[in-house]
């Protein structure tokens, strides 16, 4: 049985991951990490990494980029595999994660849902067939989500872009640009409201028809299940960067 540290343990996803691990015979939670300690938890949650004394086999991170970079450094210093499910990293932070993957195994995905990653594969096949279409991505999330567009929206766009030779430009804010839509553009729209877990729609507009692919997530358990599977996958790996593509191909 592998010992797990949950980073972002007091958040919504941290609690979802905790619930999924409690149903798994191969994993057990030994501690958590968050901005504030939670003495009501069934396992210790630390606000200082220096206070951790437990033996840890793998880390699952659903937190905030600043916290991720803290726990990532801890993982590197202690040679611990880590699953990063947090989004919203800067280019500098992304580069740091890549550098650390040369030392420890890192599983990183903007979305832990199997279906979203299946959607990515479908889009990579469809996009070249609709290369003359106008591409727009609309994503909807709960009112408390801070980053926009979502990491998943960027993941979908990046997969489309790769299939089109990385020739596409991303338009995040039409309000600041007074000009016609360019032919090599992927547009983004972000909606925030209520308690919506996540909805992503990719539309291909031509002059006479619209082709649309949509994914709706009804429960955060989907992401927690994916993170648990990722933890069981990466804990057995050598140093390197791993994604949902690696897990799907097992």
Residues involved in catalysis: 141, 145
- 38 Cβ contact partners less than 8 Å away, ≥ 6 residues apart: 9, 10, 32, 45
Q: How far is residue 208's CA from residue 198's CA, in Å, rounded to a whole number?
A: 29
**Angle 212-217-222 (CA atoms, 0-180°, nearest 5)?**
130
Q: Which residue has the tokens 């006479």?
A: 208
Q: How far is residue 34's CA from residue 6's CA, in Å, rounded to a whole number?
A: 9
Task: Kindly list the distances between the CA atom of residue 237 and the CA atoms of 47, 72, 147, 193, 246, in Å, as whole numbers in the listed order.
Answer: 28, 17, 30, 39, 11
Side-chain half-sphere exposure of 47, counting CA atoms within 13 A: 5
Closest CA to 66 of 181, 153, 161, 146: 146
And the tokens for 247? 């897990």
- The crossing angle, in degrees rounded to 10, of helices 221-234 and 12-21 is 60
Q: How far is residue 211's CA from residue 126's CA, in Å, rounded to a whole number?
A: 10
| CB distance 116 to 152 below 8 Å | yes
Exposure string over 144-173, b if 16+ CB within 10 A, otherwise e: ebebebbbbbbbbbbbbbebbeeebeebee
């Amino acid at each position: 049985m592998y010992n797990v540290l949950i980073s972002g343990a007091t958040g919504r996803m941290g609690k979802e991951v905790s619930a999924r691990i409690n149903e798994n015979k191969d994993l057990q939670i030994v501690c958590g990490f968050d901005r504030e300690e939670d003495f009501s938890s069934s396992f210790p949650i630390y606000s200082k990494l220096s206070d951790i004394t437990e033996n840890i086999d793998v880390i699952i991170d659903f937190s905030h980029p600043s916290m991720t970079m803290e726990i990532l450094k801890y993982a590197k210093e202690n040679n611990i595999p880590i699953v990063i499910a947090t989004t919203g990293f800067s280019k500098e932070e992304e580069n740091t994660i890549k550098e650390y993957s040369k030392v420890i195994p890192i599983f990183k995905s903007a979305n832990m849902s199997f279906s979203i990653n299946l959607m990515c594969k479908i889009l990579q096949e469809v996009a070249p067939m609709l290369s003359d279409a106008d591409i727009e991505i609309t994503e909807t999330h709960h009112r408390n989500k801070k980053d926009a567009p979502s990491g998943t929206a960027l993941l979908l766009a990046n997969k489309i872009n790769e299939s089109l030779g990385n020739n596409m430009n991303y338009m995040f804010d039409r309000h600041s640009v007074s000009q016609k839509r360019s032919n090599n553009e992927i547009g983004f729209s972000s909606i925030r409201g209520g308690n919506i877990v996540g909805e992503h729609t990719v539309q291909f507009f031509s002059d006479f028809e619209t082709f649309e692919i949509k994914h709706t997530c009804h429960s955060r358990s989907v992401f927690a299940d994916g993170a648990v599977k990722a933890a069981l996958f990466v804990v057995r790996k050598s140093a390197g960067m791993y994604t949902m593509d690696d897990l799907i191909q097992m």
